[in-house]
Amino acid sequence: MTRGVLVCIEGLDRTGKTTQTTSLLEKLDKDGVDATLIKFPERTTPIGRIINTYLTDTAFELSDQSAHLLFSANRWELAEKIRSLLEDGKTVVLDRYVYSGVAYSSAKGLPFDWCLSPDIGLPKPDIVLFMKFKQEENVTREGFGEERYEVAEFQQKVKTQFEKFQNEDNWRTIYVDNKSIEEVGEMIWTEYKVTASRRREALQYFSKL
Ligand code: FDM
């Protein structure tokens, strides 16, 4: 059986990732593709519950290293599920993943390579769709500022770290300025179709960049 496609949607806060992952799932369903959405952080697992408290309660202190390792551990909680869905021929859509993990923590000043280390060995996406907005736009969107990391200067640093992945083979930047939700959805769908139509090699895993 051909394995499924591992798709990842990434981007800064309030760039429309959740809207687009939902819309991608609907299109996959209409197309007869059996697909599962996994959003990180997955806040319902034992580690996810700690992460949720950390993100929503500024009085809950963790060192940057501890927070980083929890986000990575949260991905490892789901790693076997992702791998087995793919091996069963299912498509998996990830709303944030390793790239957010590395970008947010290295933006705090932790070394980039150190940030990637605990994620080495996790399934690597066939395609990463990085939603790119002008900085000013995501910070004026409704809801921005509700959680720990939603501060404009910090978002700029995160963007710089995300862009260190842009030369990776699986990376596609989706420019979303002045585009409707439908137009962005079409760009994502086109990129997905190209990837899905290619012959798939064995699942890849994260290694050193
Ligand atoms: N975030 C998310 C991290 O700092 N590291 C990670 O590994 C992941 C997956 O958590 F500010 C940050 C990014 C964001 C916050 O994400 C919660 P959502 O998408 O708003 O739930």
pLDDT value, residue 194: 97
Question: Measured between alpha carbons, how far is 95 from 52 in angstroms, rounded to an integer?
Answer: 16
Check residue 139 and give its pLDDT: 67
Q: Is 144 left (phi over 0), alpha (psi -120 to 50) or beta?
A: beta
User: Given ligand 1 and candidates 50, 98, 102, 104, which is best to mutate, with the most ligand atoms within 8 Å of its CB?
Assistant: 104
- Helix or strand (DSSP H, E) at 35: strand 35-39
Statement: residue 135 has pLDDT above 60: no
CA dihedral 163, 164, 170, 174 (to 10 degrees): 0
Report the alpha-carbon distance of residue 57 to residue 53 in Å, rounded.
6
Quick one: which atom of ligand 1 is closest to the CA of 148?
A: 11
Does the model's ipTM exceed the 0.95 cut? Answer: yes
Ramachandran region of residue 101, left (φ > 0), alpha (ψ -120 to 50) or beta? alpha
Task: For residue range 166-204, list pLDDT tens digits in order.
Answer: 999 999 999 998 899 999 999 999 999 999 999 899 999
Is the beta carbon of 118 within 6 A of some atom in ligand 1?
Answer: no
- Tell me the average pLDDT of the chain: 94
Q: What angle do CA 189, 192, 197 make, to 5 degrees?
A: 125
Instruction: Measure 32 CA to ligand 1 centroid, in angstroms.
Output: 30
Token readout for 162 is 């995300």
Ligand 1 pocket test, pick from 55, 57, 128 with the greatest ligand atom count within 8 Å of Cβ, gives 55
Helices (H), the chain: 17-30, 46-56, 64-87, 98-107, 112-116, 135-139, 152-162, 181-197
| Domain-wise residue ranges, the chain | 6-197
Q: Which two tokens stand for residue 184?
A: 């962005």
Rounded to the nearest 10 degrees, what angle do helices 64-87 and 98-107 cross at? 170
Provide CATH code, domain 6-197.
3.40.50.300
Digit-coded pLDDT (tens) for 73-111: 999 999 999 999 999 999 999 999 999 999 999 999 999
Cα 4 from Cα 196, distance rounded (Å): 8
Cα(199) to ligand 1 centroid in Å equals 32
